[in-house]
Structure 1
Amino acid sequence: MKKVTGFAGAVTLALMLSACSSEDDAAQGNPGSIDDGEQTNEYGSIDHGVTDKGETKGKEDKADDASDDIGFSLDGGSIEEAANVPAEQKKAITEAFNRYIDTLNAGQVDAYLETLSTDSYDLDEERAATEELLATRELTRTPEKLTIVKYSDEEVQVFTTMETAVKDKESGEQSVSEGRQVTVMVNDKDTWKVKAVHYIGDPETK
Structure 2
Amino acid sequence: MKLIHTIAIASLTLLLTACGSNKDSNENNGSVNDNAPSDTQSVTDHGATDKSEVGFEMAGGNIEEAENVPEKEKTAVLEAFNEYMDAFNEENISRYMSVISKNPEGFNYDDEKAVVEETFKEYDTKRTAENVTIIKYEETHAQVFANVHIALEQPSTGAKLDREGRQVTVFVKEDGKWLVTSVYFIGDSSE
Give the TM bin, normalised by the shorter chain: 0.7 to 0.9
Pick from 96, 112, 129 the counterpart of residue 126 of structure 1: 112
Pick from 129, 134, 142 the counterpart of residue 156 of structure 1: 142
Contact 2:10 2:152 in 1 (8 A): no
Contact 1:71 1:149 in 2 (8 A): yes
> Residue 204 of structure 1: SS of its match in structure 2?
coil
Please report the RMSD computed on the Cα atoms of aligned residues, expressed in angstroms. Answer: 3.0
What is the TM-score with the length of structure 2 in the denominator? 0.77
Structure 2 unpaired stretches of 5+: 1-6, 14-21
Structure 1 unpaired stretches of 5+: 1-12, 20-34
1:197 and 1:55 map into 2 onto residues whose CA distance is 8
Which string of whole-angstrom CA distances, capped at 9 and with x for unpartnered residues, describes residues 115-160 of structure 1? 0011115332122111111111012110100010000111001000
Number of aligned residues: 168
Pick from 128, 150, 156 the counterpart of residue 142 of structure 1: 128
> Residue 92 of structure 1: SS of its match in structure 2?
helix
What is the TM-score with the length of structure 1 in the denominator? 0.72
> Residue 91 of structure 1: SS of its match in structure 2?
helix
Contact 1:187 1:193 in 2 (8 A): yes
**2:77 equivalent to 1:77:** no
Which string of whole-angstrom CA distances, capped at 9 and with x for unpartnered residues, describes residues 145-204 of structure 1? 001000011100100000012210223321011010000000111100001000110023
Among all aligned residue pairs of Structure 1 and Structure 2, give the percentage whose two residues are the same amino acid: 33
Equivalent in the alignment of 2:190: 204
Change (3 A) 1:78 1:48: closer
Contact 2:8 2:33 in 1 (8 A): no
1:130 and 1:101 map into 2 onto residues whose CA distance is 13
Contact 1:18 1:166 in 2 (8 A): no
Equivalent in the alignment of 1:45: 32
Equivalent in the alignment of 2:76: 92
| Higher-Rg member (1/2) | 1
1:54 and 1:18 map into 2 onto residues whose CA distance is 12
